[in-house]
Amino acid sequence: MAVLILGVGNILLSDEGVGCRTVEELEQRYQFPEAVRLLDGGTAGMELIGAISEADHLILIDALAAGRPPGTVVRVEGEDVPATFQTRISPHQLGISDVLAAATITGDLPASMVLFGIEPESMATGLALSAVVRAGLEKIIKAVVEELTGLGLPPLDLVDTVDGVDVVD
Protein backbone atom coordinates (compact mmCIF):
# COMPACT_ATOMS: atom_id res chain seq x y z
CA MET A 1 0.00 0.00 0.00
CA ALA A 2 1.43 3.36 -1.08
CA VAL A 3 0.98 6.11 1.48
CA LEU A 4 1.42 9.82 0.79
CA ILE A 5 1.88 12.19 3.72
CA LEU A 6 1.15 15.58 2.22
CA GLY A 7 1.64 18.77 4.20
CA VAL A 8 0.18 21.90 2.64
CA GLY A 9 0.20 25.59 3.47
CA ASN A 10 2.23 28.73 3.15
CA ILE A 11 5.35 28.92 5.32
CA LEU A 12 5.58 32.71 4.81
CA LEU A 13 2.37 33.22 6.80
CA SER A 14 3.40 31.74 10.14
CA ASP A 15 0.78 29.15 11.28
CA GLU A 16 -0.55 28.84 7.74
CA GLY A 17 2.54 26.74 7.00
CA VAL A 18 2.02 24.19 9.78
CA GLY A 19 1.34 21.37 7.29
CA CYS A 20 4.71 21.92 5.60
CA ARG A 21 6.47 22.31 8.95
CA THR A 22 5.03 19.01 10.17
CA VAL A 23 6.40 17.21 7.11
CA GLU A 24 9.82 18.81 7.73
CA GLU A 25 9.81 17.61 11.33
CA LEU A 26 8.68 14.10 10.38
CA GLU A 27 11.50 13.85 7.83
CA GLN A 28 14.06 14.90 10.40
CA ARG A 29 12.89 12.62 13.18
CA TYR A 30 11.96 9.40 11.42
CA GLN A 31 13.01 7.02 8.75
CA PHE A 32 10.01 5.83 6.76
CA PRO A 33 9.33 2.53 5.00
CA GLU A 34 9.70 2.68 1.23
CA ALA A 35 5.92 2.63 0.70
CA VAL A 36 5.57 5.90 2.57
CA ARG A 37 6.26 9.14 0.71
CA LEU A 38 6.41 12.56 2.35
CA LEU A 39 5.73 15.72 0.40
CA ASP A 40 5.75 19.39 1.29
CA GLY A 41 3.08 20.58 -1.14
CA GLY A 42 3.23 24.26 -0.23
CA THR A 43 0.23 25.99 -1.73
CA ALA A 44 0.43 24.12 -5.01
CA GLY A 45 -2.65 22.83 -6.75
CA MET A 46 -2.60 20.76 -9.89
CA GLU A 47 1.12 20.06 -9.59
CA LEU A 48 0.23 17.64 -6.81
CA ILE A 49 -2.05 15.43 -8.85
CA GLY A 50 0.73 13.05 -9.86
CA ALA A 51 1.77 12.34 -6.27
CA ILE A 52 -1.83 12.06 -5.06
CA SER A 53 -2.91 9.68 -7.79
CA GLU A 54 -0.02 7.35 -7.02
CA ALA A 55 -1.18 6.96 -3.39
CA ASP A 56 -3.60 4.36 -2.03
CA HIS A 57 -3.84 6.15 1.28
CA LEU A 58 -3.50 9.90 1.65
CA ILE A 59 -2.62 11.63 4.92
CA LEU A 60 -3.14 15.37 4.54
CA ILE A 61 -1.88 17.89 7.07
CA ASP A 62 -3.11 21.46 6.96
CA ALA A 63 -4.14 24.55 8.88
CA LEU A 64 -7.94 24.63 9.23
CA ALA A 65 -9.49 27.86 10.39
CA ALA A 66 -12.84 26.77 11.82
CA GLY A 67 -13.23 28.99 14.84
CA ARG A 68 -11.97 26.43 17.38
CA PRO A 69 -9.41 27.37 20.02
CA PRO A 70 -5.98 27.89 18.37
CA GLY A 71 -3.87 24.75 18.35
CA THR A 72 -6.88 22.39 18.34
CA VAL A 73 -6.13 19.35 16.22
CA VAL A 74 -8.93 17.62 14.35
CA ARG A 75 -9.10 14.42 12.37
CA VAL A 76 -11.31 14.16 9.28
CA GLU A 77 -11.79 10.94 7.36
CA GLY A 78 -12.80 9.56 3.98
CA GLU A 79 -15.34 11.44 1.92
CA ASP A 80 -15.38 14.24 4.45
CA VAL A 81 -11.85 15.21 3.40
CA PRO A 82 -12.79 16.61 -0.04
CA ALA A 83 -15.93 18.04 1.54
CA THR A 84 -13.83 19.93 4.08
CA PHE A 85 -11.82 21.54 1.30
CA GLN A 86 -15.00 22.60 -0.47
CA THR A 87 -16.18 24.60 2.47
CA ARG A 88 -14.37 27.72 3.43
CA ILE A 89 -12.59 26.43 6.49
CA SER A 90 -9.20 25.79 4.92
CA PRO A 91 -7.25 28.97 4.20
CA HIS A 92 -6.09 27.66 0.82
CA GLN A 93 -8.88 25.29 -0.07
CA LEU A 94 -8.92 25.95 -3.77
CA GLY A 95 -5.64 24.37 -4.75
CA ILE A 96 -6.37 21.15 -2.90
CA SER A 97 -10.04 21.24 -3.84
CA ASP A 98 -9.11 21.39 -7.53
CA VAL A 99 -6.75 18.44 -7.23
CA LEU A 100 -9.18 16.26 -5.30
CA ALA A 101 -12.00 17.06 -7.73
CA ALA A 102 -9.78 16.32 -10.71
CA ALA A 103 -8.62 13.05 -9.13
CA THR A 104 -12.25 12.10 -8.54
CA ILE A 105 -13.08 12.62 -12.20
CA THR A 106 -10.15 10.56 -13.42
CA GLY A 107 -10.73 7.84 -10.84
CA ASP A 108 -7.34 8.49 -9.24
CA LEU A 109 -8.56 9.51 -5.82
CA PRO A 110 -6.75 7.48 -3.12
CA ALA A 111 -8.92 4.69 -1.72
CA SER A 112 -8.69 6.15 1.77
CA MET A 113 -7.92 9.59 3.12
CA VAL A 114 -7.27 11.19 6.47
CA LEU A 115 -6.87 14.89 7.15
CA PHE A 116 -5.18 16.24 10.26
CA GLY A 117 -6.14 19.87 10.63
CA ILE A 118 -4.94 22.37 13.16
CA GLU A 119 -6.57 25.64 14.12
CA PRO A 120 -4.13 28.50 13.45
CA GLU A 121 -3.54 31.35 15.87
CA SER A 122 -1.60 33.74 13.65
CA MET A 123 -1.44 34.09 9.90
CA ALA A 124 0.77 37.16 9.98
CA THR A 125 3.78 37.47 7.68
CA GLY A 126 6.64 35.54 9.25
CA LEU A 127 8.38 32.18 9.22
CA ALA A 128 7.81 31.05 12.81
CA LEU A 129 4.87 29.04 14.19
CA SER A 130 3.03 30.33 17.23
CA ALA A 131 3.74 28.44 20.46
CA VAL A 132 0.27 26.96 20.67
CA VAL A 133 0.37 25.64 17.10
CA ARG A 134 3.89 24.35 17.66
CA ALA A 135 2.44 22.25 20.51
CA GLY A 136 -0.39 21.10 18.26
CA LEU A 137 2.16 20.03 15.67
CA GLU A 138 3.54 17.52 18.20
CA LYS A 139 0.07 16.02 18.54
CA ILE A 140 -0.14 15.59 14.78
CA ILE A 141 3.26 13.92 14.63
CA LYS A 142 2.15 11.44 17.27
CA ALA A 143 -1.12 10.84 15.42
CA VAL A 144 0.65 10.29 12.08
CA VAL A 145 3.03 7.77 13.64
CA GLU A 146 0.05 5.93 15.15
CA GLU A 147 -1.73 6.05 11.82
CA LEU A 148 1.25 4.49 10.04
CA THR A 149 1.73 1.91 12.76
CA GLY A 150 -1.93 0.96 12.38
CA LEU A 151 -1.33 0.45 8.67
CA GLY A 152 1.60 -1.88 9.41
CA LEU A 153 4.10 0.74 8.21
CA PRO A 154 5.69 2.06 11.41
CA PRO A 155 8.46 4.63 10.93
CA LEU A 156 11.83 4.21 12.63
CA ASP A 157 12.54 6.83 15.29
CA LEU A 158 15.92 8.35 14.37
CA VAL A 159 16.22 10.16 17.68
CA ASP A 160 16.43 6.83 19.50
CA THR A 161 18.89 5.25 17.11
CA VAL A 162 22.54 5.61 16.29
CA ASP A 163 23.56 4.85 12.72
CA GLY A 164 20.29 3.04 12.21
CA VAL A 165 20.89 0.64 15.14
CA ASP A 166 18.44 0.68 18.04
CA VAL A 167 19.94 2.02 21.20
CA VAL A 168 19.29 -0.22 24.18
CA ASP A 169 18.91 1.69 27.44
Partner 1 sequence: MSERIVIDPITRIEGHLRIECEVNQGKVVKAWSSGTMWRGIELILKDRDPREAWIYTQRICGVCTTVHAIASVRAVENALGLEIPLNAQHIRNMIIAAHGIFDHIVHFYHLSALDWVDLVSALKADPRATAALGQKLSGWQHNSYEEIKAAQEKLQALIDSGQLGIYGSGYWGHPAMKLSPEVNLLAATHYLQALEYQRSINKVVAILGSKTPHIQNLAVGGVANPINPNNQSTLTMERLFYIKTLIDEIGAFIHEVYMQDVAAVGAFYADWTAIGAGVTSYLAVPDMPMNTAGTTFDLPGGYIPDGDISKFQEIKSFQDTFFRDGVKEGIKHSYYDGDWTKHPWEEETAPKFTGFQEDGKYSWVKSPTFNGKPAQVGPLANVLCMYAAGHEPTRKYVTAVLNTVSSLAGSKVGVPALHSTIGRHAARAIRCALLHDTLGRQWQLLVDNIGRGDYATFNPPTFPKGEQRGFGFHEAPRGNLSHWVVIADGRIKNYQCVVPSTWNAGPRNGDDAMGPYEASLVGTPIADPQKPLEVLRTIHSFDPCLACAVHLVDGRRQEISRVKVL
Report the b/e string of 20-46 with b at 16+ CB within 10 A: bbbbbbbeeebebeebbebbbbbbbbe
Q: Cβ closer to partner 1: 64 or 169?
A: 64
Q: Cβ closer to partner 1: 54 or 160?
A: 54
Give the Cα separation of 51 and 59 in Å (integer).
12
Q: Cβ closer to partner 1: 150 or 166?
A: 150
Give the Cα separation of 144 and 135 in Å (integer).
15
Shortest spacing between CB 50 and partner 1, in angstroms: 5
Shortest spacing between CB 167 and partner 1, in angstroms: 29
Q: Cβ closer to partner 1: 12 or 156?
A: 12
**CA torsion angle for 87, 22, 53, 101 (degrees, to 10)?**
10
Query: What is the rounded radius of gyration, in angstroms, for the C-alpha atoms of the chain?
Result: 16
Shortest spacing between CB 35 and partner 1, in angstroms: 19
Beta carbons of 41 and 6 less than 8 angstroms apart: yes
Shortest spacing between CB 91 and partner 1, in angstroms: 4
> Environment class of residue 168 by beta-carbon count within 10 Å: exposed (0-12), middle (13-18) or buried (19+)?
exposed
Q: Cβ closer to partner 1: 117 or 155?
A: 117
- Chain positions contacting partner 1, by CB under 8 A: 10-13, 16, 40-50, 53, 66, 68, 72-77, 80-84, 86-89, 91-95, 97-98, 100-102, 104-106, 116-117, 123, 125-127, 139, 143
Strands 165-166 and 161-162: antiparallel
